[in-house]
Amino acid sequence: MSSKDTGGPAFPVTSENFRNSQSGVGMTLRDYFAAKTMQGMLSDANAIIEETGEKLTLPDDAESIAEASYIMADAMLKARAA
């Protein structure tokens, strides 16, 4: 995976709460955005693949869904930085 802007931690901890957590634990904002996008895609039972017009299916389209989720997450981070 190439190094991308991750947006930092999705759920940062304050220095007061840091005592009980480990450094580097948790998901990035990019991961959080991708997970939300994937959840939305999978919640639509009628979602189709634009190129083929076929319905998304698991496990056949799992890799495409994951890639599309991170493409959207990257776009969200870009819009957020603007």
pLDDT in tens, 39-81: 998 888 777 777 788 888 888 889 988 999 999 999 999 999 9
pLDDT at residue 1 is higher than 50 = no
* pLDDT at residue number 22: 56
Rounded Cα distance, 44 and 18, in Å: 38
Rounded to two decimals, the pTM is 0.69
* pLDDT at residue number 24: 56
Report which residue type is found at 13: V
**8 Å CB contact between 25 and 31:** no
Please write the tens of the pLDDT for every residue from 11-44. Answer: 776 666 555 555 556 788 999 999 999 999 888 8
Residue 38: which H helix or E strand, with range?
A: helix 29-43
Residue 82: which H helix or E strand, with range?
A: none
According to DSSP H, which parts of 3-82 are helical? 29-43, 62-81
